[in-house]
Structure 1
Amino acid sequence: MPTLRQDATYISFPEILSSVLENSALPALGPFEQRILRTVARAGYDKSRLSVRDLMAMRELGAAATIHSRLKSMQKKGWISLADTEDARRKQVVLTEPALRILDEVGTRIEQTSKNKCL
């Protein structure tokens, strides 16, 4: 029977994420908002641009109206901002500095946990 490796950091991930988010300056996100956050963060990591229209076209995220309302909520909570593009009708969705700091803290804690388990 297969067993989990001792250094399986992903087991610690939910606790790390919860701990960082509980102590963050930004309000908590709901599960749907967290999915959007992952999508926006991935786009930022890949250095690609993601517009409101792009997100609303992603059917896996849900209905366009729901996505739009969640984006407004996330903007009010301080997680994302909408930046102007060359086309005034299109807004680029970007993470705010506080959101970037929180995600960076999550990454740092995951790295530390991984190093500690491998020692």
Structure 2
Amino acid sequence: MKKSRSSAEVYLRFLQLSEAIRGLPSLPPLDPLEERILGFVASARQQQSRLSVRDMMAKAELGAPATIHGRLKSMREKGWIILADTEDARRKQIELTRGALQHMARLSRCMEQAARA
């Protein structure tokens, strides 16, 4: 009978694989707060809901509005997000770039590969 891998082993394998793709030429790395913001944006996308800059700045768990605004600007410059116009010119919707979606797809493949190994 073949011994199954523990959840910890699968996770550690995933970390190894995901670290390997970070070395590939792609988008510049995010700092920990930017990673959290990316998670909020990706989650909103998955739920097919809109997430505006104002919505993001209202998330107290991410810090002061000025800090969040600075991170959003940094993420735009790094190519992770874009700010799209809405019906209200004063509100901008946060969207993932094609590069961000490709990065997430690579991470997903790493997760699948780690679970199969």
State the TM-score, normalized to the length of structure 2: 0.87
Relative to 1, partners in 2 of residues 1:63 and 1:13: Cα closer, same or farther, differing over 3 Å? Answer: farther
4+ residue stretches of structure 1 with deviation over 4 A? none
- The residue aligned with 1:6 is 5
- The residue aligned with 1:29 is 30
Check if 1:42 corresponds to 2:40. no
* 1:47 Cα deviation from its structure 2 partner: 1.1
* Secondary structure, counterpart of 1:114 in structure 2: helix
Which whole-Å CA distance do the structure 2 matches of 1:62 and 1:77 have between them? 21
Using the aligned pairs only, state the percent identity: 50
Gaps of 5+ in 2: none
* 1:17 Cα deviation from its structure 2 partner: 3.0
Which whole-Å CA distance do the structure 2 matches of 1:82 and 1:110 have between them? 29
- The residue aligned with 2:66 is 65
* 1:87 Cα deviation from its structure 2 partner: 0.9
Gaps of 5+ in 1: none
- Whichever residue aligns with residue 46 of structure 2, its letter is Y
- Whichever residue aligns with residue 35 of structure 1, its letter is R
- The residue aligned with 2:93 is 92
- The residue aligned with 2:84 is 83
* Secondary structure, counterpart of 2:84 in structure 1: strand
* Secondary structure, counterpart of 2:110 in structure 1: helix
- Whichever residue aligns with residue 32 of structure 2, its letter is P
| Count of matched residue positions in the alignment of Structure 1 and Structure 2 | 112
State the TM-score, normalized to the length of structure 1: 0.86
